[in-house]
Chains A and B, each alone.
Chain A
Amino acid sequence: MERIQWQLARVKSIVQETPRVKTFTLALPHWTPHLPGQHYDLRLTAEDGYQAQRSYSIASPPEQTGEIDLTVELIDDGEVSAYLHEGITVGDQLEVRGPIGGYFVWRDAMKHEPLLLVAGGSGVVPLIAMLRHRTKIGATNPTRLLFSVRSVEEAIYRTELEEMAKQDAQFELLLTYTREAPAGWTGYHRRIDRTILTDVLNRFATQPFSFICGPTLLVEQVANTLAELGLPADTIRTERFGPTGT
């Protein structure tokens, strides 16, 4: 197999998604189509040769050719995320290689199966790629995103997700606010628990395939609860980040 090569991408645009989250659109000289859920490795090199690498999920769908969107949360004391947030501007170059990963991916063969996506915070990034691709291919499988955020300000892609839910009768957005909910909010207002998951599962006519991404504790708890609620373990896929302080 040919080694997945490092390539020099050019930063095409930067969008501030939330106070701590930015999306970097990178134009790639050697773009190849990815599967929603896959990631790229990103490598920073200092002038003295020191290097640091991180993996970032791709937010864009494969229909967005020639470029990728990487949505990056600023981590306290984060060596890479802090540089990306503070040191990178449009036109700069970044070294990346990918796409990588063949497990936490939503494949077209799954497009007829009901789909449950559960995200905590920036765990929504690989899931938005699945949702964007699902919209592009016109899939009509019942799909729900249960999205745990601290507050409205921290809900990445909120406007797009709300618009998607309006346009697509088969897609339901279920937000839960763990700190402040907006005025007049009647939805979930706590951390995801067994009651919420039972409620969400009951909205499906048949058992969904699930993808869960977010902080370790959320992912552990949601995956284990879904298994206890009767979803077969091999239909629950997880991806975690943190709490590594980076």
Chain B
Amino acid sequence: MAFFNKGFGRKRDQTASDRIPPGQYETRDFPVLTAGPTPRIPLTTWSFTLEGLVESPVRWNWDEFNALPHQSFTNDIHCVTKWSKLDTHWEGVSIDTLLEHVTVKPEARFVMAYSYGDYTTNMPLDDLRNGKAFIGFRFEGLPLAPEHGGPARLVVPHLYFWKSAKWIKGLRFMEHDQPGFWERGGYSMYGDPWQEQRYRSDD
């Protein structure tokens, strides 16, 4: 008989349990988790850049970025600190749309997302393509609040939410995978919630 905690049982409703990855629980509010102070980024100086292994880098200012085609997205998000939030509503620009503006070199297989405040996080390029990721700047119908990563954050909902870099400043295309901020601190290089890849040793 495998170990179990006598008298322990599920307290929460199970309606969406097939959408909650192992070890996660559903929350209705939106917790804030960051490593330090919240950067304040005036929209007049904000920019977003695609660089690294591209034929020629491209940069947008806030107005230019907002003029790109927008989409609405509805996603479940999963934080490594164990909460999951279902059916979050975003508005933003698909990474596919952004990639139409650059020629990515064939050797580019990984991406380092980097942010105002020097946060970084890494992921395979394929995980940003084909509708899998976007730059979100509106959340639940309102401009994205600074503590949740506003003016804009990367959203990669199929990976643990630390991969969805707040205060996004750009994407750098790379040939080889390199650890970002939390990844250097022992968190997973990939972070698949369904495989429960929380820590580096879970990879």
Q: Which residues of B are at the interface with A, using a C-beta cutoff of 8 A? A: 2-12, 22-25, 27-29, 31-39, 81-83, 117-118, 147, 182, 184-186, 198-203
Contact = CB atoms under 8 A, between A and B. Distances in A.
A102 interface: yes
Nearest to B22: A51
A172 to B, nearest CB: 23
Nearest to A217: B32
B9 A224 contact: no
A189 interface: no
Contacts of A246: 25, 27, 83
Given A102-B185, A242-B31, A1 B200 contact: yes
B8 A87 contact: yes
A95 interface: yes
Nearest to A1: B201
Interface string A76-111: 010100110001000011110000111110000000
Interface of A: 1-4, 8, 41, 43-55, 77, 79, 82-83, 87, 92-95, 100-104, 216, 220, 223-224, 226-227, 233-234, 236-238, 240, 242-246
A73 to B, nearest CB: 16
B11 to A, nearest CB: 4
Q: Which residue of A82, A104, A226, A245 has the most chain B CB atoms within 10 A of its CB atom?
A: A245
Q: Which residue of B29, B37, B147 has the most chain A CB atoms within 10 A of its CB atom?
A: B37
Contact of A244 (B29, B34, B117, B202): B29
B201 A3 contact: yes
B8 A45 contact: yes
B5 A243 contact: no
A204 to B, nearest CB: 18
Given A51-B23, A240-B32, A8 B3 contact: yes
A103 B201 contact: no
B199 to A, nearest CB: 6
A46 B35 contact: no
Given A45-B8, A240-B32, A226 B25 contact: no
Contacts of B198: 41
Contact of B4 (A46, A100, A236): A46
Given A100-B186, A234-B118, A244-B83, A4 B36 contact: no
